[in-house]
Structure 1
Amino acid sequence: MTQPRTLTLAGPKPAPPHVLTLGDLLGRGVSGLPVLVLLALALALATDTFLTGTNLDNLGRQVSIFAIIAIGQLLVILTAGIDLSVGSVVGLSGVIAATVVFEATAGGQVVLAVLLALLAGAVVGAVNGLLVAVLKMPAFIVTLAGLGIARGATLLITGGRTVQPLPPAFQAIAGGTTLGIANLIWIMLIVAAAVAFALRRTVWGRYVYAVGSNAESARLSGVPVRPVLVSVYAISGLLAGLGGVLLASRLGNGVPTSGTGYELQAIAACVIGGASLFGARGTAIGALLGAVIVGLLNNGGTLLGIDPFWLQIAIGVLILVAVGLDQLNARRAAEA
């Protein structure tokens, strides 16, 4: 009796999800460390005020907010996407939190303000993710539109006016210290540690790298590509919202134009820290170090009296150089 034949569909063999190893962490996660050390030494030698306690404290607080936003941006970049809306989400979330606590002093109302601001950031991110994952719209276009919508909503809420003054209970979030270290730094370290753990030790983290490596192969391997994409954009929005809350708390007011240009700073931090805009490469530690390098450039420029417009040019050049080197390495690997 002849056995029935089964039809086998030919096609590319699904690639296994990329697993981040210790070698990845050491090779790319701390690739910016030599640059960081050299830059810090140069600033210490060039100015007497760089190593003062006041300047280092101010630098740490400023870098913390950038780093949190950059870590959220990293998750999107790992999937070969980009989120241009994070700067506007910073402004929107900060204004929402500031508006809620404007006339409030009770701690419960401060908690509610923070939760609403974080929810707003997550919702903007989730909508971006749904449009990218479900409707297959380009991430650049979707998040560029999100940038304009979120900024417009911020101006509508405030009428273009700064929301101030804010109660001490809200300002204490970013202004306080724990064990002699600024709360902002503790929050940054917690966020970095949580994301680093999720990327290295969880199935979700392996899925993120797999989607960035080859979304179609990941889908054929059983990876839920759409939920993964929605989740990374939602987390990016959530962390941008957290950055907005912390910035409003640090400034003591809700500025409708706050966060302008932060998307460039976040992308620069990720790329300088070793992330690839082509996806699947990068670490939370790298994004953190990249944010510190960008912060050092801004801080050093201020201390040395350098025109801030030159600093913008320098950051843009760094992005071009980093992306160019990454593309060159990719071509060499493909030819090998």
Structure 2
Amino acid sequence: MRAFSNLKASIANYKTLDSKDKKTFWKEGFINNLMYILIIIAAIYTYTQNHKFLSVSSIVNIISLSAANIPIALGIAGCIVLTGTDLSAGRVVGLTACISASLLQSMDYATKMFPNLQPLPIPVVILIVVVVGGIVGFVNGWFVAQFKLHPFIVTLATQLITYGVLLLYIMINGNNGQPLSGLDNSFKNFVTGSLVKFFGVPIPNYVWYAIIMIAFMWFMWNKTTFGKNMFAVGSNPEAANVSGVSVFWTTIAVHTLAGAMYGITGFIESARIGSNQANTGLNYECDAIAACVIGGVSFVGGTGKISGIVLGVFILRIIFVALQFLSINQSMQYIIKGLIILVACSIDMRKYLVRK
């Protein structure tokens, strides 16, 4: 109802514009929505080349792949709202994925990392990876808040440290860096099992977990003091400080929550991939950042919506799946990913300059 009222008001305002302003309106609208327009064109073109692109199995696949990436995007979005970023996100996913796998390997697996350890209860493992991710996030936030360091530098450092810890971890008990697989069936069923089918195609359980994460983060961003403080600090930290908002603790809390979300992503990825190694999580932060920017989370700070983040994740995943359907080679896909990030950030900055 509110959206309809806003649309009605926008149409009324448009009618009051002169011809020059109307041209400007359409020009700005086209540029600001260029990414969405290009994606729609790409999706239509892909469908004309391969009709399976919009088949039920393909749609479920897109939804599933998006769901797996939503938690990390929801986490990193908070850092972007604070005008920062988080380069350590992918390595935290890798570390927590390997921790999850090592604690939930089947007892009869030949190269089990901890041979005498029974698979831990799943809630305990979730708590462990959330704590591990939260610790990395806390360190990021503390250095950013305490020493006023740019998040790029801090998270670049913790990215390297986390990767080093990961490499050491997968060497434990003579594992010698071997992939961690042979996961317990209870773990695999909990994450990748299915209770619901869509036109006969199973929907993985982790899709529902992603929906829970979306609801949780929407509540945190929109209905709590934490969320209000986050946007206040992102918009103007000096003004927020004068208003009584603790910039220090808000910065730490945002990064800690982000780290916890990376831990959940790692837990899901561990079962989804099934074979975890040092490169698990590599470059995940790039996709998450791109999805956030496409979804309207601005690097100028203080701007973003959960719905936009989810939409950004889906749009990015549609592009990647389309590239596969078009048989674009992996090297070219990296180039296209980079161009998407560059164009999205350019459009975002242009919107900011126009508002100024």
TM bucket (normalised to shorter chain) is 0.7 to 0.9
Residue 134 of structure 1: aligned partner: 146
Choose which of 146, 165, 172 in structure 1 pairs with 2:189. 172
RMSD between aligned residues: 2.6
- Distance apart, 1:36 and its partner CA: 5.5
Residue 88 of structure 1: aligned partner: 91
Q: Does 1:312 align with 2:324?
A: no
Residue 305 of structure 2: aligned partner: 283
d(CA) in 2 for partners of 1:261 and 1:178? Answer: 31
Does the CA contact (< 8 Å) of 1:170 and 1:249 recur in 2? yes
Residue 13 of structure 2: aligned partner: none
Q: Does 1:157 align with 2:169?
A: yes
d(CA) in 1 for partners of 2:93 and 2:190? Answer: 16
Amino acid at match of 1:214: N
Number of residue-to-residue matches in the alignment: 312
SS in 2 for 1:256: coil
Of stretches 143-152 and 193-202 in structure 1, the one that deviates more from structure 2 is 193-202
Amino acid at match of 1:325: I
d(CA) in 2 for partners of 1:319 and 1:147? Answer: 20
Q: Does 1:44 align with 2:47?
A: yes
Amino acid at match of 2:353: R
Structure 1 segment 258-297 matched on structure 2, within 5 A: 258-297=280-319
SS in 2 for 1:178: strand
Q: Does 1:238 align with 2:260?
A: yes
1:219-254 CA-to-partner distances (Å, cap 9, x unmatched) read 011111111111111111111111111011112232
d(CA) in 1 for partners of 2:45 and 2:67? Answer: 22
Does the CA contact (< 8 Å) of 2:106 and 2:119 recur in 1? no
Does the CA contact (< 8 Å) of 1:213 and 1:279 recur in 2? yes
- Distance apart, 1:48 and its partner CA: 2.3
SS in 1 for 2:52: coil
- Distance apart, 1:131 and its partner CA: 0.8
Q: Does 1:199 align with 2:221?
A: yes
Gaps of 5+ in 1: 1-20
- Distance apart, 1:42 and its partner CA: 3.5
Amino acid at match of 1:92: L
SS in 2 for 1:49: helix
- Distance apart, 1:39 and its partner CA: 4.3
SS in 2 for 1:179: strand
1:269-326 CA-to-partner distances (Å, cap 9, x unmatched) read 0011111111111111111111111111111111111012222222222222222222
Does the CA contact (< 8 Å) of 2:81 and 2:302 recur in 1? yes
Amino acid at match of 1:201: K
d(CA) in 1 for partners of 2:288 and 2:64? Answer: 16
d(CA) in 2 for partners of 1:284 and 1:38? Answer: 25
> What is the TM-score normalised by the length of structure 1?
0.85
Amino acid at match of 2:290: A
Does the CA contact (< 8 Å) of 2:233 and 2:302 recur in 1? yes
Gaps of 5+ in 2: 11-31, 109-117, 172-176, 198-202
> What is the TM-score normalised by the length of structure 2?
0.81
1:162-219 CA-to-partner distances (Å, cap 9, x unmatched) read 1121111111122112333321211111111221222122222111111011111100
Residue 27 of structure 2: aligned partner: none
Of stretches 54-63 and 230-239 in structure 1, the one that deviates more from structure 2 is 54-63
State, as a whole percentage, how many aligned pairs show the same letter: 31
Residue 78 of structure 1: aligned partner: 81
